[in-house]
Structure 1
Amino acid sequence: MHRLSLDGPWTLTAVAGPLPAELEGVEVPAIVPGCVHTDLRRAELIPDPFDGDNESLLAWIGRSDWAYERVFDAGDLGGDDRWDLVAEGLDTFATIWLNGHLVGHTQNQFRSYRFDVVPYLRPTDNHLRIVFSSPVVRAESLARVHGELPHVNHHPYNTVRKSASNFGWDWGIDVATSGIWKSIGLESWSGVRVTDVRPLVGIDGSTGLLDVHIGVEWDGVPTTAELDVELRGPEGDLCARATVVAEGEGVASARLLVDDVQRWWPRGYGEQPLYGVSVGLSGAAERWSGRVGFRTVELQTPADRAGTAFRIVVNGERIFVKGANWIPDHAFITEMDAERYRRRITDATDAHMNLLRVWGGGFYESDDFYDLCDERGVLVWQDFLFACAAYSEDDVMKVEVEAEAREAVTRLSPHPSLVVWNGNNENIVAFAEWPSWRPLLRGRPWGDHYYREVFPRIVAELDGTRPYSPGSPYSYDDYLSPNDAAHGTMHIWDVWNVLDYTEYTRHRPRFVSEFGFQGPPAWSTLTRVVHDEPLDPFGPQMLVHQKADQGNLKLERGMAGHLAAPTNIDDWHWATQLNQAMAIRFGIEYFRSLGEHLTGAIVWQLNDNWPVVSWAAVDFDEHRKPLWHALQHVYQPRLLVARGDAEGVTVSLSNDDPEPWAGAVTVVRATFAGEERARAEVPAEVGTRSHAELVVPEDVLREWDVAREMLVIDAPGFGRAIHHGAEVVDQVLDADPLEVSAHHSDDGWVVVVTARSLVRDVTLLVDRADPSLSVDTGLRTLLAGETAEFRVRGNAGDVASLTSPLVVRHANAFSAAASNVVRA
């Protein structure tokens, strides 16, 4: 087999649509892989789509038709019998012409395509032209022809097999793209070729089992072919080899055994040894290669007295999930590279996360994403790409969905990190409970066939080593609400939308697969794209970058009762970021206090796909928001949490650690100035990966002045928890509690802060000094006399900028007693 890449320079031409006059007939230099937006931007023919209100100004791009063209030489055509044009990803409605001959059509962004082009190919001067129809116009046309089905947001994205969030979401820009978004090229071959490889792992005692399933295709009448399979250990040593003979069309299989196999574990539970697998036709230089990790995985949903559990079990051990939902990390997905993926996965692992859920409105992600998760021990929950909508079950859609699912399951089968396939996001609960759905459906099919029949059948057939779940949320019984807290997985969105974040405690979930609270991106990220004068939460450009319904009103409402209302934009920005962190910290601390009743939490969301006010912990410009620091705290293996008020306080010890713990928990009631008022020591012990609780003695709580006093709780090996009996707004806090200095370090700066009295949630917004800076820690609460160091990486800034009150922030400013702002 020989490959000729057609990646690289192409030309782009507008074909039809509401085009600017200056673009008609203009050939634009293009780069493949890429998309129309990035090519036009690179040619300086459009402004930055992310800036200001350019989103609406550039909507014509998604309503236009575009042609990509390239001339290439194929060389000697006599060596092989077959020449295939192989397109790994076309976005989305493409018509392909080679030397004036129609090659084929495509209509699914999530599939690859292969076309035999021998009749049309010549040695030199081949002209390849791919015309992309407008995705927005096509989606709207299909909705009119077949009748619109329920969906969120404004475009009928559910009529087409294209990333849903590419049409805009409640955190995402509407930039419906077209283009050659993955590699394209020619493959020549004769006789037989390997089409795909599924290396499926199992374990029997200490022996690793590798069942390698190899798809083959023949050019002409099938005969026989010999295939060579190799397995190499984590150090590269040859572990096993097999030869298998493929006869006729279909799949050849080989089983390889590994004695004393090294098991692959999620991070925090063990190591991640990866074994290399390669497959090729005997005597051929070209080989398929991949990596596997030997592990078992189960999804257990047993009934118990509390309802229905949801447990991810790896190698027989239940995993407590500390995760985040993953959305596309760039609105123009072709701008992603391996290094950006590496930085995002690092954001997850630095925050002690062990699972990422690839949400159903995005993509089956890049191999770079799954490879990194394999290496880092980050579990992957993979949605099939159906989200918040009803989907047609007509014959055309069924064919596309089946082909797409088969390719995705096959491609991702080697990755040990992938542990759950999930049918959809919120479609089952929408059918059951969203009031607009069933009247609009009028009895029509809505996609359930895919979730209950197609996907489980394909997963079982192609990769029976992994579990399948019909949807999220889901209660694992057709006679229960799909979003019942007591059963299976739950999404919690009444908090944020209508309830105060303390109302997380009204739910008692078994597993939370979505919940979140909004906050703005870093100041530099926000002001890079929002230019309202003066800057205001409800300015026109600000609201372009706030996609949630009444989002900034919900931000204001969410602060009420917690923080005094800010009176200027600088304080608004810090207060809303802080409140986002406080809300999620409160929620996850509560979830972890539920002990074994709850087996995991997946926060919405890790990342952003453009500069926007959103639920993300890391913004588009890669700044870790205060929320990220909150997640780093609440996802640590050992967490100490206190809950309650002056009438009674319970201390929870959550131990997601392989070692048990026993010792004394010290509880001190003290003033904000540091004067001790009461003390107690309570013995406690907690088992391996377990949970324990104790009650604070009543004597400690007697006469607790919650406005001026706190509980300081220490447990060696767990660290410290500071429990407040009142919200920030109701405490008498010092408005100017810090002494601050800064000095150079090897990789940047060290900012030193010392507390004169209690100071809550000290955080450095270092991007306000310079957007290139980053800081190692945040949300540090200090007692009177304590000092903390913040390590700032980067060479920019100076002492004055790094110690500025706009950089060194804390929650004390939002105490009504300590500020000049009015209570929210």
Structure 2
Amino acid sequence: MLRTDLHAGWTVRAAGGPVPDEIAAERVRATVPGTVHTDLLDAELIPDPYLGENEAALVWFHRAAWLYETTLRAAPAAADERVDLVFEGLDTVATVSLDGAELGRTANMHRSYRFDVRDRLRDGGIPLAVRFDPAIEYAEELQKVIGERPRPYPHPFNAVRKMACSFGWDWGPDLQTAGIWKPVRLERWRVARLASVRPLATLDADGTGRLTLHVDVERSGLTEATDLTVEVTLGEQATSFTIKKDEISGMIEISVPNAPVWWPIGYGDQPLVDLSVRLKEDHYQTRIGFRAVTVDETPDEIGSAFTLHVNGRSIFVRGLNWIPEDHLLTRLTRDVYAAAIDRAVEAHTNLLRVWGGGIYENEDFYDLCDERGILVWQDFPLACAAYAEEEPLRSEILAEARENVARLTPHPSLALWNGGNENIWGHQDWDWKSKLGDLTWGAKYYYEDFPALLAELDPTRPYHPGSPSSPGHDPEVVHPNDDRYGTRHEWEAWNREDYTHHDTFLPRFCSEFGWQAPPTWSTLRESLAPEDFDQESPAFLRHQKAEDGNGKLNRGVARHMRVPEEFEAWHWATQLNQARATSYAIAHLRGHAPRTMGSILWQLNDCWPVTSWAVVDGAGRRKPAWYALRRSYAPRLLTFRGPELVAVNDTGTAWQATVRLRRAGFDGSLHASSEVTVDVPARSVAAVKLGEALTTPGDATREVLVADVGGLRATHLFAEDFDLRYDPAALTADISAAEGGYSITVTAASFARDIAVLADKVDPDAVVDDMLVDLLPGETHTFRVRTAWADPDGFLAPAVLRSANTLAAPAGA
């Protein structure tokens, strides 16, 4: 097969809608793959929508139409030759024309399109055009026909197969992109082509790897049908099978004794085996990994388990929710994906959940997860809304699901398919029923269509009907967010309650929870003007999408510490509170294994500069919460739970150690001490009850309980920060040059809590190795800052070298 990319020579211009005159008059060079937003940015015709209030200035984009044009030059087809024009992705409502004749119309960005153009080719240039009409108008018209369904936001995102968060979310911009967002090419072929290749790799209990390879072909129809030979190479093994002349599919099973076993990170290695499939001139190549994945949902005295098993071993999921890494998707490169996934790896994550309001991710994402041993939980892209089961949506949803399930089967990292995000919960709790009446809402997708499709295409992976849900139970009888079954989302903690509210439930698996904070200081500085550094400024609020987001931030801070009036101190307080909320929730979940066997924090990343639940902001900078996450997801964790010391050991070896315990004054005085032995088997949790001498303070405002073992430290305070008698000037620091940057050695004269070096305030590119360190009087800690910044003094400035103690200073200090 001859494949020719058609990425050069495109232009784009306005074709209708409320486009400003100065833009409507322009025809600009189009980058393909790309979007109109990125093309107009490159042409300097629109301001950056991520900055200031520019998002609001571009609302006219929502109802604009655009025309992409190029000239196709291709030799006429030979008598026995098929020629297809292939679009891997069109965003979203498009009309494709060649030489003035319409080839087809599309309304789904999640699938590809193929047009037979063999009879339309001729010598010379042929005009090729793609017109994009507003997705919002398509959705508005469609819901008039099939009925309007409930959703949490004004735009009818659930009536068109476009990335849901294209229309805005409680952390994302409302830009509504349009464009040829994936590759486009011409394919010339004869006799037959590989229409679909589905490698299903599993592992038997005896270590035998099994590959079941399914191949679907398309015949050209231009020659007499013949038997087809499919050649297969798996590692060093070469074999073949035949698809008979009256068939369009075939399969072969290949056994690999003593197969190399693919493991999640922390459990073993990630060997990948090359797979090659050839049919005449068409060639498919990928990598597979041998492993077995199941979910244990065995009923028990509590309800029923929800435990992921890989190769027979139970996995405590230390996960993160993943949203699109950039709202302007076509700017994402393999390097950007690698950096984002590596930040998850560095934080001891072993699973990423691809959330259902985004996209089926591209091959780079899954390839990188394969290589790094990061498990992938994949939502079908249906989120937070009722979805019609009528045409044309039904066919589109099933077509995109079929294509993407087949596409993703090679990836050993892909561990679980999930029907959608919060849709079952929404139907049960969000007053949909009165609005729906007799209208469908998506149940058939979750309970019938997706399971049937997976049984046909990918029976090797478990399926979950929705996050959250209680599988196997009528939602009217067992609530979909019941903590005794399946998966749970915990959003009372944040929306209405403090993060300590996590103590009131013990989920089998918590697939969403989190706490908000603004992005890092440098990211704010890059996206807002100095006069907008105010939590109530219009520009700052443009980058705070959550309902009453700042109110929830302030109420959350006020439960633990004073709420600063000065913006820079407020910024630090809210970031610190997010970090503490993250640590608290994860310690709770991990500390209750094996009843609880999964923690998926909302969320790893942001798609633009915004106040959100992400631990890494939209510029890829780590918030303090990322460091809290890394410590909380470490293979071994020490934490306090009431009068108990809890030791979590998620390694493959037993943990036996002596823990030193002290109840000390902030001034260093020792009030009580003890040593306890922790003896924690591999992949287990142990709790040790502590005596009253340790857990009962003499002065709750000036004492701390400290546990130390093997470089791990846990601290417990006996009162909230607003009552604690911190010394605001507890720290001194020295800085010296070091390889790649500087070493900052901090010494405490009094107890210092949550010490951090906010290095990005000095150098936007600086990265510090650690944050949120607690020191007793006389102790030191050295922070290492990776930076090329020439002047070291700024890293010791009061706004950079921060701690909880500094928030105890009088307002304005």
With 664-673 and 504-513 compared, the bigger mean Cα shift is at 664-673
Distance in 1 (CA, whole Å) between partners of 2:696 and 2:489 is 39
Residues 332 and 80 (structure 1 numbering): CA distance in 2 closer, same or farther, change over 3 Å? farther
Structure 1 residues 532 and 747: alpha-carbon distance in aligned structure 2, compared to 1, 3 A threshold: closer
Q: How does 1:602-621 map to 2 (within 5 A)?
A: 602-621=600-619
- Range that drifts further, 399-408 or 746-755: 746-755
Q: Which residue of 1 aligns with 2:666?
A: 672
SS at match of 2:239: strand
> Which digits, 9 at most, give the CA deviation of each residue in 1:557-610, with x for residues without a partner?
000131122120110111111111111111111112213111010000000000
Aligned: 1:311 with 2:314: no
Equivalent residue in structure 1 for 2:450, among 452, 455, 475: 455
The answer on whether the counterparts of 1:217 and 1:249 sit within 8 Å (CA) in structure 2 is no
Deviation, structure 1 residue 702: 4.5
Q: CA deviation at 1:66?
A: 0.5
1:25 Cα deviation from its structure 2 partner: 4.0
Using the alignment, how far apart are the partners of 1:331 and 1:80 within structure 2?
A: 44
The one-letter code sitting in structure 1 at the alignment partner of 2:660 is T
TM-score (norm: length of structure 1)? 0.96
More displaced, 52-61 or 606-615? 52-61
Map of 2:89 onto structure 1: 89
Shift of 1:46: 0.5
2:813 aligned with 1:819, yes or no?
no
Correspondence list, 1:158-557, <5 A: 158-204=158-204, 205-220=206-221, 222-232=225-235, 238-282=236-280, 284=281, 286-435=282-431, 437-476=432-471, 477-478=473-474, 479-531=477-529, 533=531, 535-557=533-555
Q: Any idea what SS the aligned residue of 2:455 has?
A: helix
| Local SS of the residue matching 2:118 | coil
Question: Does the 8 A contact of 1:642 with 1:723 survive in 2?
Answer: yes
Report the secondary structure of 1:553's partner residue. Answer: helix
**Does the residue aligned with 1:75 lie in a helix, a strand or coil?**
coil
Q: Which runs of 5+ in 1 are unaligned?
A: 233-237
Deviation sequence 1:719-746 (CA, Å, 0-9, x none):
2211212222221111011112222222
- Per-residue Cα deviation, 1:686-706 (whole angstroms, up to 9, x for no partner): 111011111112233355322
Match of 1:701 in 2: 695
Range with bigger deviation, 560-569 or 241-250: 241-250
Q: How many residues align?
A: 807
- The one-letter amino acid of 2:810's match is S
Is the deviation greater in 680-689 or in 156-165? 680-689
Alignment check: 8 A CA contact 2:697 2:703 kept: no
CA contact (8 A) 1:662 1:684 kept: yes
Are the counterparts in 2 of residues 643 and 723 from structure 1 also a CA contact under 8 Å?
no
Counterpart amino acid of residue 453 in structure 1? E
Match of 1:69 in 2: 69
Q: Which runs of 5+ in 2 are unaligned?
A: none
Residue in 1 aligned with 2:784?
791
- 1:635-650 alignment to 2 at 5 Å? 635-644=633-642, 649-650=643-644
- Asked whether the equivalents of residues 321 and 354 of structure 2 are also in contact (C-alpha less than 8 Å), the reply is yes
The Cα of 1:262 is off from its aligned counterpart by 1.2
Rate the CA distance shift 1:702–1:30 in 2: closer, same or farther, 3 A: closer
Q: Assess, with a 3 A threshold, how the Cα gap between structure 1 residues 84 and 549 changes in structure 2: closer, same or farther.
A: same
Distance 2:531 2:694 in 1: 52
Match of 2:797 in 1: 804
1:710 to 695, 704, 712: 704
CA deviation after TM superposition for structure 1 residue 814, in Å: 2.5
| Secondary structure of residue in 2 paired with 1:388 | coil
Q: Does 1:123 align with 2:127?
A: no
Deviations 1:451-483 (A, max 9, x none): 111111111100110011100001121120000
How far apart are residue 533 of structure 1 and its match?
Answer: 2.2
Q: CA separation in 2, counterparts of 1:89 and 1:223? A: 32
**Aligned partners of 2:753 and 2:244: how far apart in 1?**
67
Q: Distance in 1 between matches of 2:694 and 2:250?
A: 71
Q: Structure 1 residues 698, 791: closer, same or farther in 2, change over 3 A? A: same
- Could you tell which deviates more after superposition, 188-197 or 348-357? 188-197
Give me the whole-angstrom Cα distance separating, in 1, the residues matched to 2:723 and 2:508: 33
C-alpha distance in 1 between matches for 2:542 and 2:421: 25
Matches of 2:470 and 2:695, distance apart in 1:
41
Matched, 1:655 2:658: no
Tell me what 1:102 maps to: 102
1:748-763 to structure 2, matched below 5 A, reads: 748-763=741-756
For 1:122 and 1:257, locate their aligned partners in 2 and report how far apart those are by CA, in whole Å. 49
Paired position in structure 2 for 1:150:
150
Q: CA deviation at 1:666?
A: 2.3
Q: Which amino acid aligns with 1:214?
A: V
Are residues 703 and 723 of structure 1, via their aligned partners in 2, closer, same or farther at CA, if it must alter by over 3 Å?
A: closer
> What is the CA deviation profile of residues 143-173 of structure 1, one whole-angstrom value per residue up to 9, with x for unaligned ones?
2333321011121000000000011000000
How many percent of aligned residue pairs carry the same amino acid?
46
1:235 is aligned to: none
CA distance in 2, matches of 1:202, 1:336: 31
Alignment counterpart, residue 574 of structure 1, candidates 566, 572, 575: 572
CA distance in 2, matches of 1:316, 1:399: 37
Asked if the contact 1:280/1:288 (under 8 Å) is kept, the reply is yes
What is the distance in 2 between the residues matched to 1:410 and 1:123? Answer: 37
The residue aligned with 1:624 is: 622
Check if 1:58 corresponds to 2:49. Answer: no
Q: After TM superposition, where is structure 1 displaced by more than 6 Å over at least 4 residues in a row?
A: none
Q: In angstroms, what is the RMSD of aligned CA positions?
A: 1.5
The superposition leaves residues 34-59 of structure 1 with CA deviations (integer Å, 9 ceiling, x where unpaired) of: 00100011001111111111111111
Q: Which residue of the partner structure matches residue 734 of structure 2?
A: 741
Deviation (angstroms), 1:442:
1.3
Letter paired with 2:691: P
| SS of residue paired to 1:137 | helix
How far the C-alpha of 1:76 sits from its partner, in A, is 5.7
Asked whether the 8 Å contact 2:16–2:66 carries over to 1, the reply is yes
Closer, same or farther: CA 674–229 of 1 in aligned 2, 3 Å:
same
Q: What's the counterpart of residue 760 of structure 2? A: 767
The CA deviation at 1:141 is: 2.0
Q: Aligned partner of 1:756: which letter?
A: A
**Helix, strand or coil: the match of 1:428?**
helix
Contact 2:231–2:238 (8 Å) recurs in 1: no
Letter in 1 for 2:765: S
Give distance in 2, aligned partners of 1:821 and 1:246.
Answer: 81
